[in-house]
Amino acid sequence: MKDIKRLFLEIKFEILKIIMLNAVLRGSIFFLILYLPAAFFGIMDMWKYSVYILVVLAGMYSVILAIRQYRQIRYKLLEEREPELQDILTTAHDTMDEENVMVRAMWRELAMKVRKIRPVMFFEPGQIVKWVFVIFVLSVLTAMSPTLTYQLAKHNVTTDSFKLDINLPDFFDGPGINNGDIAAVDIFQDDSIFGDRSPIILGDDELTFEIDQDFSGIDFSSEDDLLNENFDENDDLTQIFIPKGTGFDAKKAAANSKQQKIWIKNYFEAIDK
């Protein structure tokens, strides 16, 4: 009987490992499920330690789950998983005091059967694969959460005509652009600018423009301050909207044009937001 008890202890220990794996996987899912809506609604930015709170919650969930599952391990569970064991286990219990060849043979068989009950019985590969897949999907969603959550600006220059949407996440940043830098793209040099996507990235954030080809919808009257301002050739900002290789006079003229000034204004507004 001692040998059998020892075998059962071994099995319990093996099952414990499976329980731990299950708890870790389910805890991870729990964490990601909490993290996603929190990130979506911007809760993660509200407190500095939000992520740690989620980790603690997920950890507690895992521990509770593991304890609950461990308590559920009974010989009855073994019997359910291995119906053949049911009769032999009950009989072994009832004939503990008997001593003959058949009883010894039964104990031997019981020991062999118990040894066969490896944790594989409790290990459900399908379930594990499912959880790993869920974790993968949630991780991808989490990685893409910045694009799903908020955009730096959605600035409409006009109400119709062509649309320039920049929806690339920060990990698509081009080389040489650091956080806080102003990246530029020569949209006037790009023939396919209208209707096609082109990255205009501001550090880690994104910028969305809607560009009216003929600027007919712009109310210039509200842009007085900006219109009165002059830029010179040393102003880097003008490089944003002026094609490379343009001569100084042309640059200056372009920078001081109404529509360019409005663009620049909008650009700053977007940065402020």
List of residues contacting other proteins (CB under 8 A): 87-88, 90-95, 98, 100-106, 108-110
> How many CA atoms, within 13 angstroms, populate the side-chain half-sphere of residue 122?
23
Min. distance of Cβ 77 from other proteins in angstroms?
19
Letter string b/e over residues 42-76, b meaning 16 or more CB atoms within 10 A of that residue's CB: eebeeeeebeeebeeebeebbeebbeebeeebeee
Min. distance of Cβ 110 from other proteins in angstroms?
8
Query: How far apart, in Å, are the Cα atoms of 55 and each of 34, 50, 228?
Result: 10, 9, 54
Cβ closer to other proteins: 113 or 265?
113
Strand 163-164 versus strand 153-156 pairing type: unpaired
The Cα 80–Cα 63 span in angstroms is: 25
The Cα 50–Cα 184 span in angstroms is: 35
Cβ closer to other proteins: 68 or 104?
104
Strand 153-156 versus strand 205-210 pairing type: parallel
Min. distance of Cβ 97 from other proteins in angstroms?
11
Min. distance of Cβ 78 from other proteins in angstroms?
16
Min. distance of Cβ 103 from other proteins in angstroms?
5
Give the Cβ contact number of residue 102 at 10 Å. 9
Min. distance of Cβ 66 from other proteins in angstroms?
33
Cβ closer to other proteins: 108 or 130?
108
Note whether 60 and 23 are within 8 A (CB). Answer: no
Burial of 89 (0-12, 13-18, 19+ CB in 10 A): buried
The Cα 73–Cα 174 span in angstroms is: 55
Min. distance of Cβ 11 from other proteins in angstroms?
20
Cβ closer to other proteins: 1 or 105?
105
Cβ closer to other proteins: 20 or 106?
106
Cβ closer to other proteins: 17 or 81?
81
> Three-state SS for 154?
strand
Cβ closer to other proteins: 93 or 197?
93
